[in-house]
Amino acid sequence: MAVFTVTLGSRKLTERQGRVLKLLSGVMMLMLGGVVLFRPALLNNAAVSLFVFIAALATTWFIARLTPESTDSTMAG
């Protein structure tokens, strides 16, 4: 775990990677919030928690694939 933290800490994220990370965080919070709101007892099951995490990863991957790799700076203004 320490090697992962040091390695990731020494590397800057690109703008796209930062956006995808924010998207993943938001999707995960949305899914966990839905579970807590409608069926909080489900989070006692490790398999359900793992499913929520995998579903958030899959949703983020799908949305990230739909967006272009880079934005055109001439369109911004």
Domain segments of the chain as ranges = 13-66
* pLDDT value, residue 67: 85
Residues 49 and 43 sit within 8 Å (Cβ to Cβ):
yes
> Which is higher by pLDDT, 72 or 35?
35
DSSP structure class, residue 15 = H
User: Could you tell me where the DSSP H helices lie in 10-66?
Assistant: 15-38, 46-66
Q: Is the overall model pTM greater than 0.75, yes or no?
A: no
Residue type, 61: W
What pLDDT digit, counting tens, does each position of 12-67 carry? Answer: 888 888 899 999 999 999 999 999 999 999 989 999 989 999 999 999 999 999 98
Q: Give me 28's structure tokens.
A: 């995960």
**Confidence tier at 77 by pLDDT (50, 70, 90):** very low
